[in-house]
């Protein structure tokens, strides 16, 4: 008999805050079954110093306990820095939020990740919602951390359609080599890719209610959601709706039954050209001619999220961020 089911799950978020990373942080801070131990920052949606500022601001507005936040990689392993234009000038929707009073810790992200993972009494779940540069550097610098990692649930990749390119999702496209290192980490991995990421949309009526809240964290969630593009568009109600984005990956940690996954081989395309950054997910039911003629190549298996219960995650998100 262990006390694990009632003990909150230790989690660490590695992010590039980012409108939807901010939604993910708000959720993680407020969910009673999650114990957010640290947050590490990486260049992605915006430059890493702005990511640190945005992250500290969100934690402050959410009334989070004083948890460590560290600055990480300022650029990808090989690629140039390419910020995501959709998140505004400050990377977080230009909401005019105050500068944070909180400060980052003095150690870098890789050092903080190692320290927190090895110090945890129960194996940690890592939730990267950003390019995977920090995670790759951690795995190469301190591979011993894998002994105390329960699972890595990352937002990234796509089985079907990309966003940064027709086939590549932004986080993987931004640093494909880092993503390839993650996939061979030798720990259980869940890929929360664009296929499910884009489906979880909070209806406009709920977004309006959150924005009208007196409570700063809840109100911030509403403001952020109002800045999230959705696949819909057109009628006013759909325009007011907002996708959970990265926050869906944290919902999947708090409530794994909300996604349906399959253990599948996943490989990142690293060759220059139009497929660079694509996550190639092998869904074939049997080996093809390539394997018959050339033999099977060893490939990492990843739990790939193929379906999501949208209503369940929207309800979970709203209940959590509106928690008194």
Asked whether position 14 contacts ligand BDR by CB under 6 A, the answer is no
DSSP, res 278: B
Token pair of 121 as six digits: 């009494």
Residues 21, 116, 175, 195: which binds ligand BDR (CB under 6 A)?
A: 21
Nearer to Ca ion by Cβ, of 130 and 268: the residue is 130
Residues 12, 14, 19, 21: which binds Ca ion (CB under 5 A)?
A: 21
Q: Which of 55, 281, 16 is nearest to 133 (CA)?
A: 16
Asked whether position 246 contacts ligand BDR by CB under 6 A, the answer is yes
Provide the minimum distance between the beta carbon of 200 and ligand BDR in the complex, in angstroms, as a whole number: 13
Asked whether position 195 contacts ligand BDR by CB under 6 A, the answer is no
Question: Residue with CB nearest ligand BDR?
Answer: 170
Asked whether position 279 contacts ligand BDR by CB under 6 A, the answer is no
Q: How many angstroms separate the CA atoms of 22 and 226, rounded?
A: 13
Nearer to ligand BDR by Cβ, of 120 and 250: the residue is 250
Residue 95: is it exposed, middle or buried by C-beta count within 10 angstroms (0-12/13-18/19+)? Answer: middle
Asked whether position 35 contacts ligand BDR by CB under 6 A, the answer is no
Using H for helix, E for strand and C for coil, what is the string for 65-111? CCCCEEECCCCCCCCCCCCCHHHCCCCCCCCCCCCCCCCCCCCCHHH
Among positions 38-77, residues that touch ligand BDR (CB under 6 A) are: 45
Asked whether position 155 contacts ligand BDR by CB under 6 A, the answer is yes
Kindly provide the b/e burial profile for residues 132-153, where b requires at least 16 CB atoms within 10 angstroms of the residue's own CB: bbbbbbbbeebeebeebbbbbb
Residue 234: is it exposed, middle or buried by C-beta count within 10 angstroms (0-12/13-18/19+)? Answer: exposed
Provide the minimum distance between the beta carbon of 171 and ligand BDR in the complex, in angstroms, as a whole number: 5
What residue ranges bind Ca ion (CB under 5 A)? 16, 18, 21, 129-130, 246
| Site residues (vs ligand BDR, CB under 6 A) | 18, 20-21, 45, 84, 129-130, 155, 163, 169-171, 245-246
């Amino acid at each position: 008999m262990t006390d694990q089911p009632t003990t909150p799950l230790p989690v660490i978020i590695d992010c590039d805050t980012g409108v939807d990373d901010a939604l993910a942080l708000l959720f993680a801070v407020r969910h009673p079954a999650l114990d957010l131990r640290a947050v590490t920052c990486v260049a992605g949606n915006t430059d890493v110093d702005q990511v640190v500022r945005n992250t500290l601001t969100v934690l402050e507005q959410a009334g989070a306990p004083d948890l460590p936040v560290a600055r990480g990689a300022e650029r990808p392993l090989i690629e140039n820095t390419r910020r995501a234009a959709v998140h505004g000038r400050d990377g977080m929707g230009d909401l005019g939020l105050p500068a944070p009073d909180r400060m980052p810790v003095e150690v870098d992200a890789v050092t903080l990740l190692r320290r927190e993972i090895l110090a945890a009494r129960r194996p940690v779940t890592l939730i990267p919602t950003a390019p995977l540069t920090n995670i790759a550097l951690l795995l190469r610098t301190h591979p011993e951390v894998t002994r105390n990692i329960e699972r890595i649930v990352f937002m990234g990749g796509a089985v079907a359609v990309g966003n940064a390119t027709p086939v590549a999702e932004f986080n993987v496209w931004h640093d494909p080599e880092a993503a390839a290192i993650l996939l061979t980490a030798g720990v259980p991995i869940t890929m929360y890719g664009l296929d499910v990421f884009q489906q979880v949309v909070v209806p406009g009526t709920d977004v309006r209610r959150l924005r009208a809240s007196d409570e700063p964290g809840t109100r911030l969630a509403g403001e952020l959601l109002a800045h999230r593009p959705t696949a819909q568009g057109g009628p006013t109600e759909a325009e007011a709706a907002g996708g959970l984005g990265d926050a869906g990956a944290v919902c999947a940690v708090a409530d794994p039954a909300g996604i349906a996954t399959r253990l599948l081989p996943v490989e990142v395309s690293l060759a220059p050209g139009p497929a660079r950054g694509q996550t190639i997910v092998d869904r074939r039911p049997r080996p093809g001619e390539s394997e018959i003629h050339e033999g099977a190549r060893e490939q990492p298996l990843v739990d790939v999220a193929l379906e999501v219960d949208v209503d369940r995650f929207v309800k979970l998100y709203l209940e959590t961020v509106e928690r008194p």
